């Protein structure tokens, strides 16, 4: 009987117990939210941010990466060339991360920020561009070094 | 490997978040408790100590900087598992259906907590719910799903970590990087493209992202000497002859005339009440303490404050043994009135500060008088104080 139930369920009893216990904690937290209106708003943001990540952000950065890799493949002929794709990818990812974390400051979206802090927030765009420029310069310098200096071992054929 | 980083980091984020909630002393009621409906979720609360003075700074600094460090790890983890989102058929058994439901709470919760936390420190609120409500209950919803996920997936992670030698992987360059063997998880590409980055390269990229985010923000937490290095953080940069202000007087609607010669501080006890001018306060015994202010938004600053010990002030009207209510001139705002616990009031280092670093307080820093309490969150260090009242029940 037990075995048939478990084979219908599709996983071990530990799996079920973990889901029930964790689900109970989540459900209790949901039940403490002060009002249905607030709960719906929070739920909207819960699911909304998830959808924005999975269906907007992820496809955008995956597509950008695929285009980069495709261009890289097409333009890399045979011969011991130094691959450049990561010299574009790394500064782009790092700069994108900074933008993702601080876009309200960089794009001056927070109108309350200047009033609260008493400081102009027009400095962040410049700083972000500066950091991005430095990252690109370092990456380019490393690339040049790899091209000009003899490799330590033969490049992949 | 990414999962392992999150397995260690997320519980630390959770605990520092819960400690920060405890630091507000929500048990005192009133405005201290931003989430009065918490029920059992407040089971662990305790009276927040005043020692060590850097306690809140360490708690909230860890919370924010670790959150920044984990952002790239979380994104990389989501990147690595996203093929599962589009698995077909979406449901093969009741077990899997339940697990997918739990994953919505897991991934949605993780993204929600990072988004609300990051936007809150930038004072960007594209929603109308309270940050405290959303971030606290969201964290518990997320942690329920997180615990489930850890129990279910721990064996998978251990197998994956055992399957590869970390040392060998760190020695493997792009030229020797081979695709993952199919393992039945559905996460291994069936027809992988030629690798363009090694496994150590991916780890290096994620680690660089963490270092960069933390490196450009840590200065706002670590100290005033290195604040200038925090180029991308809300309270970084340089503050010549000054330190950051959380809320300006203008932003809080403080009128200069209310803080001038006519200003009086009311100190009230069970049976007595006195009204003191700033000159009266300056005539009382003064104490000087070097104490940090640390904001829930993650930044902090240590300054030298001079003023009257709260205990001395309250001794004018009563025995200061119990909770105290401090009211500000500011109209509205979540923390215009806050409560301090008996242990905070009787600590001789808790001051009603009149001066900072040898100069009178500026209006933005709370002139004519502000509270400073060791180890308390910045919002409990009330500025523009107009009344200090011992709550009923004191001796």
A147 and A83 in a single domain? The answer is yes
- Cross-strand partners of B124: none
Give chain B positions within 8 Å (CB) of A85. Answer: 196-197
- According to DSSP, the residues that pair with B275 across neighbouring strands are B266
Residues of A in contact with B215 (CB under 8 A): none
Looking at the fold, whether A85 and A145 belong to one and the same domain comes out as yes
Residue B222 lies in a domain: no
Is residue B238, in this structure, part of any structural domain at all? no
Nearest to A85 among B72, B196, B235 (CB): B196
A81 and A71 housed in the same domain: no
> Residue A105: pLDDT above 90?
yes
Where a domain ends, among B158, B192, B215?
B215
Domains identified in chain B, total number: 2
Contacts of A112 (CB under 8 A, 6+ apart): B123, B125, B251
**Residue A88 sits in the same domain as residue A157:** yes
Among candidate residues B162, B186, B215, the one where a domain is terminated? B215
Q: Are residues B158 and B38 in the same domain?
A: yes
Q: Are residues B68 and B192 in the same domain?
A: yes
Residues A12 and A66 in one domain: no
Residue B277 falls inside a structural domain:
yes
- CATH code for position B354: 3.90.420.10
pLDDT at B395: 38
What does the pLDDT average to over B221-240? 92
Please tell me whether residues A92 and A114 are part of one structural domain: yes
Out of B92, B108, B201, whose CB is closest to A50?
A: B108
* Whether A143 and A110 share a structural domain: yes
The verdict on a CB contact (< 8 Å) between A21 and B148 is yes
Confidence (pLDDT) at A157: 41
Using CA atoms, how far residue B202 sits from A25, B8, B83, B175, B229, in Å, is 34, 19, 18, 14, 27
Whether residue B125 has pLDDT greater than 60:
yes
On the question of pLDDT at B126 being above 70, the answer is yes
The whole domain housing A20 covers 1-32
Convert A124-137 to b/e letters by CB count within 10 Å (16 or more is b): beebbeebbeebbe
Task: Tell me the ipTM for this assembly.
Answer: 0.92
CA-nearest residue of chain A to B234? A105
Write out chain B residues lying below 8 Å of A8, CB-based. 93-94
User: Is residue A124 located within the same domain as residue A145?
Assistant: yes
Whether residue B231 is contained in a domain is answered as no
Which residues of A are less than 8 Å from B230 in CB distance? Answer: none
Q: Which of A15, A117, A131 sits opposite B245 (nearest CB)?
A: A117
Tell me the C-alpha distance between B8 and B3, whole Å.
Answer: 9
Residues A8 and A57 in one domain: no
- Scanning A67-106 for CB atoms below 8 A from B yields 69, 72-73, 83, 85-86, 89-90, 93-94, 97-98, 100-102, 104-105
Q: How confident is the model at residue B182 (pLDDT cuts 50, 70, 90)?
A: confident
Domain with B119, as residue range(s), is: 2-215
**Do A46 and B108 count as a contact with CB atoms less than 8 A apart?**
yes
d(CA A66, CA A68): 5
Q: What percent of chain B has pLDDT over 70?
A: 99
| Boundary (domain end) residue, out of B183, B215, B247 | B215
Q: How far is A150 from chain B (nearest CA, A)?
A: 16
Give the separation between CA B314 and CA A30, rounded to whole angstroms.
42
Within a domain: B327: yes
Closest approach of chain A CAs to the CA of B147, in angstroms? 6
Q: A81 and A119: one domain?
A: yes
Residue-wise pLDDT for B239-275, tens only, equals 988 999 999 999 899 988 899 999 999 999 988 999 9
- Per-residue pLDDT of B334-389, as tens digits, reads 889 999 999 999 999 999 999 999 999 999 999 999 999 999 999 999 999 999 99
- Do A67 and A3 share a structural domain? no
Give the predicted TM-score (pTM) of the model: 0.93
Average pLDDT taken over every residue of chain B: 92
């Amino acid at each position: 009987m037990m075995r048939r139930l478990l084979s219908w369920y599709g996983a071990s009893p530990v799996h079920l117990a973990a889901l029930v216990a964790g689900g109970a904690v989540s459900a209790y937290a949901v039940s403490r939210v002060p009002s249905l209106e607030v709960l719906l708003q929070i739920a909207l943001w819960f699911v909304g941010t998830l959808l924005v990540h999975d269906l907007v952000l992820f496809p955008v950065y995956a597509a950008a990466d695929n285009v980069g890799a495709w261009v890289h493949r097409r333009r890399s002929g045979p011969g011991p060339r130094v691959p450049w794709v990561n010299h574009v990818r790394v500064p782009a990812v790092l700069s994108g991360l900074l933008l993702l974390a601080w876009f309200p400051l960089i794009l001056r979206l927070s109108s309350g920020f200047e009033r609260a802090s008493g400081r102009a927030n027009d400095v962040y765009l410049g700083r972000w561009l500066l950091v991005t420029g430095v990252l690109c310069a370092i990456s380019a310098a490393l690339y040049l070094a790899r091209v000009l200096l003899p490799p330590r071992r033969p490049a992949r054929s | 490997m990414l999962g392992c980083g999150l397995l260690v980091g997320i519980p630390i984020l959770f605990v520092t978040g819960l400690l920060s909630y405890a630091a507000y002393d929500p048990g005192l009621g009133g405005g201290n408790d931003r989430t009065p409906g918490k029920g059992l979720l407040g089971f662990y609360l305790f009276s927040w100590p005043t020692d060590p003075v850097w306690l809140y700074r360490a708690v909230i600094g860890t919370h924010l900087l670790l959150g920044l460090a984990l952002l790239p790890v979380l994104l990389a983890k989501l990147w690595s598992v996203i093929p599962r989102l589009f698995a077909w058929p979406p449901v093969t058994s009741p077990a899997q259906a339940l697990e997918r439901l739990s994953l919505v709470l897991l991934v949605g919760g993780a993204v929600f907590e990072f988004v609300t936390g990051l936007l809150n420190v930038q004072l960007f609120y594209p929603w109308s719910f309270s940050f405290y409500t959303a971030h606290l209950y969201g964290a518990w919803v997320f942690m329920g799903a997180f615990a489930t996920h850890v129990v279910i997936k721990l064996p998978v992670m251990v197998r994956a970590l055992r399957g590869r030698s970390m040392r060998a992987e760190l020695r493997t360059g792009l030229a020797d990087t081979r695709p993952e063997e199919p393992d039945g998880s559905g996460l291994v590409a069936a027809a992988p493209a030629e690798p363009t980055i090694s496994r150590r390269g991916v780890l290096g990229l994620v680690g660089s992202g963490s270092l960069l985010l933390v490196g450009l923000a840590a200065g706002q937490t670590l100290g005033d000497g290195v604040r200038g290095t925090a180029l991308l953080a809300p309270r970084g940069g340089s503050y010549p002859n000054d330190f950051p202000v959380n809320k300006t007087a203008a932003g809080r609607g403080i009128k200069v005339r209310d803080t001038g010669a006519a200003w009086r501080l009311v100190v009230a006890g069970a049976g007595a009440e006195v009204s003191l001018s700033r000159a009266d306060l300056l005539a009382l015994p003064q104490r000087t303490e070097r104490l940090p202010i640390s904001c829930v938004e993650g930044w902090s600053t240590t300054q030298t404050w001079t003023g009257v010990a709260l205990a001395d002030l309250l001794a004018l009207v009563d025995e200061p043994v119990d909770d105290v209510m401090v009211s500000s001139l500011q109209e509205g705002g979540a923390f215009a009135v806050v409560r301090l616990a008996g242990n905070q009031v009787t600590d001789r280092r808790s001051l009603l500060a009149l001066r900072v670093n040898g100069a009178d307080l500026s209006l933005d820093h709370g002139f004519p008088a502000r509270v400073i309490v060791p180890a308390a969150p910045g919002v409990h260090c009330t500025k523009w104080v107009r009344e200090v009242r011992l709550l009923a029940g004191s001796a």
